[in-house]
Structure 1
Amino acid sequence: MNISFFNKPIPSRKFVTTAIVCLTFALPLIAHANDAELKGMKQEISRQSSVLSKQKKELSSLQSSLKKYELSIANASKKARNAERELAAVKRSITELKQQQSELTQQQIGQTEVLKDLLVNYYLISRNNQLSNVLSGDDVTKIDRMTQYAQRISEAQVGAISQLEFTTMQLKEKEVSLLKQQQRQSELLAQYKQEKTTLQTSQNKRKKTVSSIKKRISNENGYLNELQQNEKRLKVAIAKAKASNNVPMDGIARQKGRLPWPISNAKTLHSFGTKQTGQLTWKGMVLASEYGTPVKAVDSGKVVFADWLRGYGLMVLIDHGKGDMTLYGYNQSLMKKEGDKVQAGETIAVVGDSGGQDRASLYFEIRRNSKAQNPRSWLRR
C-alpha cells in the first residue's frame, strides 16, 4: 500500500531494500572517484604553481636582460656624448692651429724679406766703405760713422735671423700639434661610430626584451602585480638610502611652490594621483621630453641612489634633508653617482626610456618622510 507524504508516493519496502544494497556497493566507487578527483586537483595545482614559478623566473630573467641592455645603452650613450664633445673641441683646436700656422707663415715671409733687405744693405755699405777708404781718402770720422752704421745693420740682421728661426720653430711645433690633433680626430670618429653601433645594437635587443616582458604581464593581474613589486623595491631602495645618509640638510619645505621643474618644456603624460591600474595610482608624475634632454636637480642635496631599479630604469634619488627626497627615473644615462653632492639646477641625468618605457620621458617624485607628495604643489606654476 502506498502512503502519500508531501503529495509524494513513498517507495515500497522491496524498493528501499534494493536501493540500500545498490548504495552499499556504490559508496566505495564514489569515494574512489572523489580520491581520484582530489589527486587530479592537487596535480593541477602543482602544475599551475610550476608554470607560475617558471613564468616568474622567465620574467626576472627578461628584466635582468633589460637591465643589461639599458646599462649598455647608458654607457654607450655617455661615451658617444663625450666623444662628440671632445671631437668638437679637437675641431676647434685644428681650426685655431691652422689659423696660427697661416699667421706664422705670413710672419716668416715678412721676416725673410726684411733679412734680404738687411743683407743687401750690409753688403752695399761694406763695399762702399772699403772703396772710400782706398780711393777717396775720407776722414776718420766719416769712416767710423759708416762702420757703426754697418755694425747696426749687422746686429739687426742677427736679430732678424733669430726671429726667423723662432718663427720656423713655432711653425714646426704647430705642424706636429696639428698632426696629433688630426690623428686624435680620426680616433674619436672611429670611437664615436663604434659607440653608435653598440648603442643601436643594444636598443634593438632592448626593444625585443621590452616586447617579451609586455607579453608576460599583458593581463591586468600580471601588470598590477609587477607595479606592486616595483613599489616595494622602491621603498626598500629609499629605506637603504635614508639609512646610509647622515648628512644634515635643510630640506625643501621653504621652497614649496617655488621649486624649478626638473626638465624644461615638458608635457605631462601622467599626473600624481591619477589611476595607474586597479587600485594603484601614480605616486609621482611622468613628463614627456626628447632623448638626451638634461635632467636637473630641483634643489641642492646628496645623491643617495644612482643605479638601475626594476620598473624605474636608471634612477637618481636625492636626499635634501629633514626627510625630503626627490626621485628622477626612466633616464637614458646618469651624470652623478652615489655620494655626490649636487646644487639646485645641476644636471644629474639625461632623459631616456629606461625601465621598459615606450617613449622618452622622466618619472619625477617628491617624498616627505617616505610619503609621496603631489609634485605640482611644490613646483613653480
Structure 2
Amino acid sequence: MKFFRTVLFLSFVLAATGAFAQSSSELKRRRDKLSDELEQLNREYQETASNKKVSLKQLNILKAQINLREEKIVNINSEVRNLDNQISQSNNTVRTLQSQLDQLKKEYAGMVLFAYRNQSAYNKLMFIFAAKDFNQAYRRLKYLQQFGTYRERQAGYIQGTQKDLNIKIVELDKDKKQKNNLLTEQEKEKETLGKEKNNQVKVIVDLSKHQGELKQQQRDVQKRIAQARRQIDIAIRKEIEDARREAEAKAAAAAKIAAAKAKAENRDVAPPVKKAINKSSTNSEVLNATPEATKLSNDFLGNRGRLPWPVANGQLVHGFGTYTDSEGIRNDNPGYEIRTGAGAAVRAVFEGEVTKLVDVSGTYLVIIKHGEYFTAYSNLKSVNVAKGQKVSTKQSIGTVATDPGSGEAEVIFCLYKGSAPVNPKLWLADN
C-alpha cells in the first residue's frame, strides 16, 4: 500500500514538473528572443555612435534597448522564481523518496531476519505441521511461497526508489546550477542597463543643443501620420459607400427582374430571401453583402491573435492609443509604429485585395481589404502591388522608408473594422 502511495505521489510530482518545464521553456524562448533583439539594437547603436553627430536615432535605440533589457530582467526574475518552485518541489520529493526508501529497507531487513530464522527445511515443515487443521496448514504453505515472492518484489521496489532518488538529486543539482547562472546573467544585465541609462542622459544633453531641429523632425513624423490617417479614413469611407451603391444597384436590378417575372406569370412578387442593402444598412452588412466577403471576414476574425507582423523583424515604438512623446506632446496613435531595418520588406498580414495606393509626403500608403476589415501600411519607400490586386498572407507589398532626419526606418500599421480603428495588439501574434 505504501508503495502505491509513493507511485501516486511521484505521478503528481512528474505532472507538476511537466507544467514547470513548459513554463520554463516559454520563458527561455522569450529570453533568447530578447537577447537577439538586443544584439541587433546594439549593432545599430554602434553604427550610429560612429557618427560624431548625436542623432535622434541614437536616443530611440537607447530607449528601445533599455525597455528590452528591463523586460529581459523581469523575464529572468520569472525564470528564477520558476526554478525556486522546482527546487522546492524537488527537495520535497527527495525527502519523501528518502523516507520511503528507509521504510522499505527497514521492512526488508525484518523479512531477511525472519527468513534467516526459518531458513532450514525442518523449521518450515514444523511451521506447517503445527497447524490445527489441513486448511490452516495449506494457508501456511501458501504464505511461505508468497513470502519469498514478496521479498523479491520488495527488493525491486528498493532498487526502483533508489534510482528515482538518484535521478531527482541530479535534477536538483542541475536546477541549482541553472539558477546560479541566471542570477549571474541578471547581474550583468543590470550592470549593462545602468550604463545604457547613463548613455541616455548624455545623448539627451547633447540633443538638447539641437532641440529646435528635433522638434521639427518629430512634427514632420506626426504630420505624416496624421496625413496617412486622413487618407485611410477617406479611402475606407469611399470603399463602404461604393459597396453600398453597388449592393443597392444589384438589389434594385434583382427586384426589377423578379417583378417582371412575377407579372409575366400573373402572380405576386415573392419577398427577397435576404434583406436588401439600403441606406439604413450597417457598415458590416454592406461590407459583407456577398458570400465571398462574408467568408473572408470570418477567416480574418478566425485568425485573431495569430496574424503575422507586417515586418519579419521589428520592435514596437508606440502602441495603439494616446501617448506623450519626449517633448511632452500628446499624440493619438491609430495603430502600431514599428521600427525595423532599413529597406526591410513590408508584408500583408492576411489575404485580401489592395483597395488604395496613395503618396503621402513622398512615401506610400497601402490599404488592403479583408471583407469588412481593412489593414493599412504607411511610410513605404516603394510598393510592388497594384490597386485591385489580390494578395496572400505574408506577401511583400513594398519596402519601408528611412527618415532622412532621424535615420529611423519605421512602418505604421493600422487595422480597422469597417471605419473604426482597433488595437493591433488583440490581432497580431507575439513577435
Return the TM-score normalized by structure 2.
0.43
Q: Which has the higher contact order (CA 8 A, sep 6+)?
A: 1
